[in-house]
Amino acid sequence: MRQTFAGTLLVLFFLLKGTKLPTPRQMLFHLIVGFLLISCSNGLTTWAIQYIPSFLGALIACLMPFVLIISNSVLFNEKVKPIVYLALIIGFTGVTILLSSFSEEMHGANFLFGILLSLISIGTWTSGTLISTRNKLNVDPFEGIGWQMLFGGIMLFIASRLTGQHVPFNSIPAAAWMEFFYLSLIGSIFCFMCYLYALKTLPISLVSIYVYINPIVALLLGVLILNEKITVQIVVGAAVTFCGIYMVKKFST
């Protein structure tokens, strides 16, 4: 809902400024990117953390830089240094160590389902990112994010209605509306604008580094709010994963 609200605000802002409506091709572009980044990636991530701990979901998301590098190499023939592949192996080793600490829980279908959702969300986010950086439609990133959030939010809202996951407006407490407006303005408009601006001005490998912060925040919040447990195995797995990610960043630029 916040994505739809934030997208509506941005679209109205640019329309009131006299900005022309996007062409049909630009509209289709916004629809596709919004579907991949908002509807699929955000939606699947939210769904996934119902089945897996929050810090595990954030750590799985750290595989995104790996997927971006491989995708650029395969799809756009960008050269990758051999040491980067070694870094990828180190990163995946860390994730393997991390997941092995949940070996008992992994026998449950729901746990594996949550991991699968997280992995698919990485693929959709990567696809949306690559499409955004490779488009030739002369799309203003700040105007475009409004349409993308609007389209993506609407599709996500429809999906929530069809699956019975929506929450009636009259059941939302007053305090939650303050959080809603904060997340709409800061979490959606500001953060997505920063992300798309970075994609236009910085290398993809550098932009993707933002995911390194997510596990730290998720881990701290999970411990402080949800009383989630931290084991030595999780710490070791996370450290090895971060080592691989750091090496990818260092040797791919």
137 secondary structure, DSSP code:
S
* Confidence band for 181, pLDDT divided at 50, 70 and 90: confident
Q: How buried is 34 (Cβ within 10 angstroms: 0-12 exposed, 13-18 middle, 19+ buried)?
A: buried
> Residue 141, exposed/middle/buried by CB under 10 A (0-12, 13-18, 19+)?
middle
* Residues in contact with 171: Cβ distance below 8 Å, sequence separation at least 6, in sequence order: none
CB 102 within 8 A of CB 161: no
pLDDT tens digits, residue range 14-28? 888 888 888 888 899
**Which tokens hold the place of 171?**
């059941």
DSSP codes, 42-68: IHHHHHHTTTS-HHHHHHHHTTHHHHH
d(CA 54, CA 228): 9
The secondary structure of residue 147, as a DSSP letter, is: H
Tokens of 82: 């051999």
CB within 8 Å of 206: residues ≥ 6 apart = 198, 249, 253
Tell whether the model's pLDDT for residue 105 goes beyond 60: no
Condensed to tens digits (0 to 9), the pLDDT of residues 117-163 reads 999 999 999 898 888 877 777 777 778 888 888 898 888 888 877 77
Tell me the average pLDDT across 161-181. 71
What was the pLDDT predicted at 213? 65
Q: Write down the pTM of the prediction.
A: 0.76
The predicted model gives 158-172 an average pLDDT of 71
- Nearest-angstrom CA–CA distance, 161 and 168: 10
